[in-house]
Amino acid sequence: MAKLNTNSNVYTICYAAVMVVLVAFLLAFVSSALKEKQDENVAIDKRTQILASLNVRGIAKSDVEAKYNELIEETFVLTPDGQEIEGADAFDVETKEIGEKFPVYRAKTAEGADAFVLPLKGRGLWGGIWGYVAVTLDCEKVLGAFFNHESETAGLGALIKDEPFQSQFIGRPVMADGKVALTVVKKGESKSEAEVDGVTGATLTSKGVGEMVQAGIQQYVDVIGKGIEGALAKAAGCGQHEGCQKAEKCCDKPDCACAEKKLCACKDGSCGDAACNCASDAKCCAREECPCTCCEKMTRCEKMHEGCDQHEGCDQHEGCDKKHEGCGQHEGCEGCPEAAGEAPHKCQSGNDCCKSGVCDKSGSCGKPGCDGDKACCGHK
């Protein structure tokens, strides 16, 4: 039997090939055996990041899943057209897919506030960055934030993943003039509450976070604004108030902040703005498209308003200081007894009414034909 020549090229090549195959087999076996554990760790890490955006930090690894299930009430995924993807779970959407899909988490913060958690992705100095921003249901204020990175510089850009930087976002306004204003600027150069100080010495990473936050949230606002019915009802908030499901119910006044996107301004689905609030706020606008039952702007009540005996917080309608004695309704309302000729009516105070039966706003006889300042009530 010929002796094996271990110094030959053939031997060396064969030996190396066998070793490569064996090592590859072992690595594949180990990877397969540990895959379930690896996936579990990735899921725990993702849940930990989402919880951090809800201001839940420092929780034990064994408690993460239970806390996540406690605070996350539901998740859904929207298409770029604002339609909900039936059966989709936001948690299953990978970071690289954001932009093609829009995952949303409806949750409670550590303080118990209702929130939407919006996953974001962007680009830092050396690689990808991502984050989760928790906002109020109307997308007006930040409730919490978490950011992370692939390969930013240690001690500089990498600081975006630390709580001191992230905590600056809490309480910041998100929107201004109908657009997302929240962003990050160079430290010391912020000019509004919506501008957060960046990390010192990490200008480009800070800029990347700012662009990710501003452009990313704006995408959600735009996407949700395109949606109708089911998806919009669930995501009632970012760009549209809770309870308002159809864009045609909108405020068309030039000075209304919601006019640009034709979205509702009142929580009850009616129209309104700072100068004309809706019935749910104890005030209302008199425009026909507003489903208000009472209008504070009316100077008289022509008839009893359906479902509203009087203004919330007011004794009676503006211009009707007192009810008619024995009538139970305001001056000018249907159903009040007619005045009997020129005979004066008795006021609640016991004084005679003015003959004209017309009182000014205060209830005194201040109109032509009235006697002095006696309090009166009467008919036209």
Instruction: Kindly tell me if the per-residue pLDDT of 181 is higher than 70.
Output: yes
Q: Which position has the higher pLDDT, 267 or 25?
A: 25
Asked which of 229-243, 267-281, 322-336 is least confident by mean pLDDT, the reply is 267-281
The average pLDDT across 191-220 equals: 96
Cα 312 to Cα 217: distance, rounded to the nearest angstrom? 37
Q: Using the predicted structure, report yes or no on whether residue 147 has a pLDDT greater than 50.
A: yes
Determine which of 78-87, 188-197, 221-230, 265-274 has the lowest per-residue pLDDT on average. Answer: 265-274
Rounded Cα–Cα distance for residues 230 and 236 (Å): 10
- The mean predicted confidence, pLDDT, of the chain is 74
Residue of 310 and 247 predicted with greater confidence? 310
The secondary structure element, H or E, covering residue 143 is strand 142-149
Please say if the pLDDT value at position 249 is more than 60. Answer: no
Would the pTM count as exceeding 0.85?
no
Residue 111 has pLDDT above 80, yes or no: yes
Higher per-residue confidence, 223 vs 357: 223
The stretch 278-307 carries a mean pLDDT of: 40
Give pLDDT tens digits for 360-377: 545 555 444 454 444 454
pLDDT attached to residue 202 = 95
Per cent of the chain over pLDDT 70 is 59
Q: How confident is the model at residue 239 (pLDDT cuts 50, 70, 90)?
A: low
The residue with greater pLDDT, 184 or 250, is 184
Q: Is residue 343 exposed (0-12), middle (13-18) or buried (19+ Cβ within 10 Å)? A: exposed
Distance CA 325, CA 375 (A): 13
Each residue's pLDDT tens digit, 45-69: 999 999 999 999 999 999 999 999 9
| pLDDT reading at 219 higher than 50 | yes
Contact 359/350 with Cβ under 8 angstroms? no
The pLDDT of residue 235 is above 50: yes
pLDDT at 23 over 50: yes
Q: Quote the pLDDT of residue 182.
A: 97
* HEC per residue, 266-327: CCCCCCCECCECCHHHCCCCCCCCCCCCCCCCCCCCCCCECCECCCCCCCCCCCCCCECCCC
pLDDT score of 325 more than 80: no
pLDDT of residue 32: 81
**What pLDDT shows up at residue 345?**
44
What's the whole-number mean pLDDT along residues 78-84? 92
How confident is the model over 185-204, as pLDDT tens digits?
999 899 999 999 999 999 99
pLDDT at 350: 38
Amino acid at site 110 = A
Alpha helices in 159-281, H assignment, sequence order: 163-166, 203-226, 229-234
